[in-house]
Amino acid sequence: MFGRFFKREYARVVYSSEYIYGLPSMGRHQSFDIMRFKKIRDKLVKERLLTRRNILRPDPCSYDDLRLVHTEDYIKRIKDPQYASKILKLDVFNLLYNSILEYFRVVTGGTLLATAYALKWNVPVFNLGGGYHHAHPDRAEGFCLVNDVAIAIQKFRHLQRGKKFMIIDLDYHQGNGNLLFFKDDPDIYTFSIHADTWVEIDRQQNKDILMSSGCTDEQYLATLEKELGESCLSFRPDVVFYIAGSDVYEKDTLGDMKLSREGVLRRNQYVFHRVRERKIPLVILAGGGYGQDSWEVYYDFIAWGLRHKS
């Protein structure tokens, strides 16, 4: 009865049980729901949109993969769990902290697996995690220790020479790590709508749009529709990474936008359609999402994506 979901034209999901271990829900980051991605996986299975067998399971990315973006010195430092917990401003007395770098390596492995699969089969692939867009080559920021999207782009551009990559980042927060890392790169276009700017950059292959706090579905979607189609069309990317941050949701405990559950789904569907109508391989990352309700909106998107013939 699940046969039609195994066909390759349908979206796929990347997840590992290790995704829940590395994210302590203590101290400054108590708004994290560490079960967020497991809840999504469980409901997709319960609703018979996904079977456990059909989930793509990543291995941790290698240290060579980390070196594609991060400096040797930084990698050496974040191997120390005490250091990693300190720079992420976590309580140092939690045993789970030993797995912080391991968590980021597995999620980055997930983004790499999603990218490989999307390129090979040209289907949309959802990673139940990822989109750590604040991480820099030599420092962490905003709970992002490792920049998974930048690593995936650096890795696959060697296999896909001359290809152009686009990052559509609709997380509540600006993806400053990616912006800075790719600022002199003509083959990468960064498109971002956010309510929280971290860095000002003036570059051609970039659209950086600041929305007001409290913006509504209508305001947000009007801006997205006006700006994205044009950017996508003019740049003609070969691969798109979509950071579908859930922290724009009105029930999010960190962001202060007022997008309804339906509005976030419409946002996600709009991006999906604009990319897939051009048959561009699409890698979708979870991005941010805080509080006990945030998992719902990424679930809605994946459930819709799994039903939708791409």
Binding site for Zn ion (CB under 5 A): 171-173, 245, 247, 288
The H or E element that residue 12 is part of is: strand 12-14
Which CB sits closer to Zn ion, 114 or 195? Answer: 195
CB of residue 285 to Zn ion, shortest distance in Å = 11
Show the tokens assigned to 201.
């950059």
Q: Which residue has the tokens 């002199």?
A: 184
Which CB sits closer to Zn ion, 137 or 142? Answer: 142
Which CB sits closer to Zn ion, 10 or 299? Answer: 299
Which CB sits closer to Zn ion, 192 or 310? Answer: 192
Q: How far apart are the first and last CA of the chain?
A: 20
Dihedral through CA 79, CA 81, CA 83, CA 87, nearest 10?
A: 100
Residues with Cβ within 8 Å of residue 41, at least 6 apart in sequence: 13, 15, 50, 55, 128
Residue type, 233: L
CB of residue 283 to Zn ion, shortest distance in Å = 18
CB of residue 282 to Zn ion, shortest distance in Å = 20
Q: What helix, strand, coil percent values describe the chain, rounded to 5? A: 45, 15, 45
CB of residue 277 to Zn ion, shortest distance in Å = 27
Burial of 253 by CB count in 10 Å (0-12 exposed, 13-18 middle, 19+ buried)? middle
| Nearest-CB residue for Zn ion | 288
CB of residue 24 to Zn ion, shortest distance in Å = 18
Which CB sits closer to Zn ion, 116 or 144? Answer: 144
State the maximum Cα–Cα separation within the chain, in Å, rounded to a whole number.
Answer: 52
Residue 190 CB neighbour total at 10 angstroms = 27
Which CB sits closer to Zn ion, 78 or 248? Answer: 248
CB of residue 257 to Zn ion, shortest distance in Å = 11
